Structure formats: structure tokens, C-alpha cells
Amino acid sequence: MTYYDVSMAIKPDIQVYKNKPEKRPVFIEAATHDVAGVYETLIHLNLHTGTHMDFSLHMKKDGKTSTNFDFTRLIRDVKVFDLTHVKDGITKDDLIDFDINPGDFVLLKTRNSYEDTFNFEFIFLAESGSTFLKDKKVVGVGIDALGVERNQKGYPTHNTLFDHDIIIIEGLRLKDVKEGNYHMIALPIKIEAVEALPLRVVLYDVRKNPISNNQ
């Protein structure tokens, strides 16, 4: 197998932020074979469910929405960093030894990837880590938590990343992926004018090109 689906499966019992019941997806039979001749599902979906990306409207009243987002920014090479030893927030010190260059898109693998239920003490990107990544001029950050930060007053991690137009992906599942370089293909569904978008994220072995290898 040369690819990794690093997306969370959306289902009725998917983990949701702080286990809040109103954040749980609801599946409704909108049409059934017996009555309508076809089967259709209606889903009630908070846009921050499972693997998703945030836009700055999530935190800022005058923030950006999904409209006109350039999806080609999500089809590119990425670096996965193993931070499974980190016990709380990921700080500058945790990141300083990695090879990070301007233009990099980094995915942070933590022990969160091994947990299928919501952990109120989930690992997150601490403010110092976000400032360090911003100073390194990364263009995107992905993490395997439903939030890129927790319990930081004023949301400095989100805001540092948003203020520098750094893409934020949350809710990755990186258990099966080793530290290293990969091709990423990620595509959000196309919903206009919202503060977050569910997306599918897959990684390919960097030695294989998914386009040139499957024909």
C-alpha cells in the first residue's frame, strides 16, 4: 500500500469536541426505499466535525471564509513530524530540531492519533510553537486534534496562524504514518462563505506519484 487515508470517519459515534452533544452529527432518513423508491440521508453536520480546515472567521468577526479558497494549496508535499512523546502543548523547544524551511507544510503527529474518544487533555500546538512555525515561514499546519489549541486565552495559536495566512487542518489521523516526507492530496467540499470545511486528506509515499502510477 502506497497511500494513507489520514481522515477521520464521520459516523454517529465519532468523537466531538468536549463531547458536546450538540456537536454530534445526526443522520436522518430523508427518503426510504419503501416510501420513495430511493434511499437518501440528510446529515446535520457541524463543519468542525472530523477532519476539517478552519478559516479566520472561526475566531475573528471580520475574518475570511471558505469563498475563493485556492484548493491547489492542499495538493503538494508535506512533512510529518513525530511528536508522540509530547505530553501537553507542542512548544518551540519541541520543534526546534526539525528541518523546517520556508514554504513547508507540516503535519504534527501526536498521541492524539491513537485515541478514538475525546481527551480533554489532548495534545495541541502551544503559542510558542505557533510563533516558531510562523517565523520559519511554514504555509500550513495540520494536527491530529479536533482543535489546534486548547485553554489558551485569546486563541493565540489560531490567531498567529490566521494572521500569516497559514492553513490550519484539524482532526487528522496519523497513527499509520511514520515521520517523513509525503505527497498530500487534500480536498475540502465546496461550501461557500463558511468558517470551516470538512475535507479528505490522503498521503502518498513521496517516491510514488499517484497520478503517474495508477494508469
Assign 213 to helix, strand or coil: helix
Phi and psi at residue 5, in whole multiples of 5°? -85, 110
- CB 92 → a copy of itself: shortest distance, Å? 25
Please give the residue ranges that form the binding site for a copy of itself (CB under 8 A). 3, 5, 7-11, 22-23, 27, 30, 33, 37-48, 50-51, 57-61, 63, 71-72, 75-77, 155, 183, 185-196, 198-200, 202, 204, 209-212, 214-215
| Pick 132 or 162: Cβ nearer a copy of itself | 162
How far is residue 6's CA from residue 203's CA, in Å, rounded to a whole number?
7
Report, in Å, the least distance between residue 72 CB and a copy of itself. 6
**Which residues does 110 contact at the CB level (< 8 Å), separation at least 6?**
83, 84, 86, 90, 123, 143, 144, 145
**Nearest residue (CB) to a copy of itself, 73 versus 178:** 73
- Identify which of residues 86 and 142 has a Cβ nearer to a copy of itself in the complex: 142
Nearer to a copy of itself, 42 or 96 (CB): 42
Sequence-separated (6 or more) residues with CB below 8 Å from residue 66: 55, 188, 191, 192, 193, 194, 195, 196, 197
Shortest CB 110 distance to a copy of itself, Å: 20
